[in-house]
Amino acid sequence: KEVVSCSGRQTYHDDMAKILYTEAVISQRVAELGRQIAQDYQGKAPLVLGVLKGSFMFFSDLVRAIEPCPRGLTLDFIRASSYGSGTESTGEVKLKADLKLEKVEGRHVLLVEDIVDTALTITTVSRYLLEECGAASVATATLLDKHERRKLVYRPEYVGFLCPNEFVVGYGLDFNEEYRTIPYIGVLKPECYSHLGIEAPEPDGSGESSD
């Protein structure tokens, strides 16, 4: 299969219209969040739960920054997919996890998300943990908070950056599964969407997306 970048450019970096958060800026903010979380969760043996896929890079940096690490801290992952047609999510969020109920019951859960946008995903996940799995508490650490686009009221406890209302990629965040490995966060050039015959996406992408 031939690999074509938008407009025939060589690398993902060439597809960026602008960089919003550099590697250095992200790394400094993640360190601050980690210290704060370490303080807040001492003595609570937290279960740190990454919401796949978008959070994988933030997750691995954040857990290393939780210093001093509270005793009893453990990790797991949950996968959330939103289904939609066109450029808007229907608001239906599907969860996949191999979390055993007893693993969550009574635990203080810290959800790790890449971005909270409409808040449909994080609301679904946190309700599931509280109502069906018996979590003692659920809090959210999100790298980005696109607060202007909320459909549900949700205020994450730990926010890396308040994000402008633009579709962003990099540092785990994808467009069409691409760009996840870029170590900074940026906005794509408009032609990166038009060469696929689509308009710049609304932040939930089109069709089924594994976030």
Q: How many residues bind ligand 5GP (CB under 6 A)?
A: 22
- The binder of 145, among Mg ion, ligand 5GP, none, by C-beta within 5 to 8 A per type, is none
Minimum distance between the CB of residue 33 and ligand 5GP, rounded to whole angstroms? 17
Spell out where the chain has E strands: 16-21, 47-52, 74-85, 88-96, 108-116, 137-145, 158-162, 168-169, 185-188, 209-210
Given 15, 61, 114, 117, which residue is catalytic? 117
Annotate each residue in 25-54 with x if it binds ligand 5GP (CB under 6 A) or - if it does not, as one string: -----------------------------x
Q: Return the residue of 117, 125, 156, 192 that touches ligand 5GP, per CB under 6 A.
A: 117
DSSP reduced 3-state for 36: helix
Half-sphere exposure of 101 (CA within 13 A, CB side): 6
Q: Return the residue of 34, 46, 160, 203 that touches ligand 5GP, per CB under 6 A.
A: 203
Minimum distance between the CB of residue 127 and ligand 5GP, rounded to whole angstroms? 13
Does residue 128 contact residue 111 with C-beta atoms inside 8 Å? no
145 interacts with ligand 5GP by CB under 6 A: no
Rounded CA separation 96/81 (Å): 8
User: What single-letter DSSP state applies at residue 201?
Assistant: P
What Rg do the C-alpha atoms of the chain give, in angstroms? 17
Minimum distance between the CB of residue 146 and ligand 5GP, rounded to whole angstroms? 6
Catalytic residues: 117
